[in-house]
Structure 1
Amino acid sequence: MSHIHVPDGIIPLSWGAGGYVVSLLIMILIIRSMDAAEARQRIPATAMAAAIMIIGMSVPLFVVPVHLSLAVLTGILVGPKMGFLAVFVVNLILASFGHGGITIVGLNTLLIGSEVLVGSVVFKGLKQHLSVRKGAFGATMAGVALSMVLMVLLVGSTAGFSEVLPHHHHGEHDELPAVTLTETQENEPHGHSHQHGSFHEELERIRYFTFTGWAAVGTIFLAGLMLEAAGTSLIVGYFQRVKPQLIDR
């Protein structure tokens, strides 16, 4: 949910380059700190988690105009270190297919990587006192909420807060008659394609069922957050039954 979807040219290139530099430095530190035998052992699980993330980020939810990220699930299954590496690979693959700009892969990696880290740490703490499924639910709520706040602050401060609002891009969400989102002018250049009006004008054009404006935006993100947490909880519960060693690392 905290994945930045804006195309190249919206967020300044300096921010994108900085995101790449910081992400690469973190990955170098991760690789140097890892035991080679442990890394080889976790590669299959990491590949599986990355594949799950790609599916989650590629398939829209047919209830709300957002998609799952399943990043906290990755942190639970393979830990924050391998999870961060998986997030970079997933973002690079998605960007190559036009799902977010290639220049913001580093920023997306930092955002979703923070979700992996927080979710993994919170889950370890919660599972000592709660069931695995409840721990996964709470960890997902914490991780996604933090990454969404960071995403709003980042995009809002660099590209304008109207870019944070759910937008309707290239026919996306046409299957949701209850959702009316601001539309992107496809024939305009990137530099002007998102300049529909002020933030408040953009906000007032958003409709979700009977909600409008802030109520619609809040309902969309809250529903997406709950679905992400519920989905992660169900998947973690399934793995706990069929392969508990993945959860009990």
Structure 2
Amino acid sequence: MYTLYGTEGEEDDTRGLLPRFAEDIFASFDKQRRENSSLSCELEAIDISSETYVDLLASRRNANISISGVNNNNNNNSKDELKLIHTELGPKLQGVRTVEVKNANDLIKLFAQLHRIASKRTSTHTIKLLFTETFEFDNPDESLQPIRKSRRVRVLFVLLRNMPSAFLRCVDVAVEHDSGENPLAKVPIRESAFTKLYPDILQQGFLLNMVCCISPYYEHVRENFNTMLFAMKVKRLLCMPKLIEDESLVAMRRLADEVKNLRLA
């Protein structure tokens, strides 16, 4: 938990991965920003316990979120209404609350509120971020109706805690499949709630980075050993996410740059 969120405050040494990431991603966008582009971020926070999904943003303790610039796209406050459905874009929880933010400060404030909720829980904790960069181009046919194109990037932070044996079996099969020892194997993603919701993680759909936290105390030696074994196993997973590129967006951005250069010439 400390690795993800750090401690509340502005000291650089005690900030976690999430607030650092929020600042870096928006700062990078501002640095490379084009005149006709804008960036938005949608956030979902799900707690996974056994076969149960809990929407942390819809919990009663967090129902009164009020941050300037933050839009709640769903006012559902009941975790019982969450239902896993399959869409063209993959599995999705129906009824989950999505919060949209426009800048790093609002995202960091939202992380701080989630920290206070998640710190009182002991199950697996996930935060999914969907970044959408929208480009606006002049329409030669309709001057008052510009053409808009978007590109999206998904980022998933996961705090693995008290994972069931079914998840470990999924990891074992995925490692065997990726290493070539059992090329015909299929990851049994339906065996755990986590892999049902995020099947792409063990099917080469993400670029994976793992941080393992171990204890310096002797009584935690066995747990530390198991953590290191798990890390070595996950390190063998292949990561080959597919880049889905809109060719029309690439062409329009290139033409827009050419027009801009001609105007400056």
**Structure 1 length normalisation: TM-score?**
0.30
Which structure ranks higher in relative contact order (CA pairs < 8 Å, sequence separation ≥ 6)?
1
More strand as a share of residues: 2
Question: Which has the greater radius of gyration?
Answer: 2
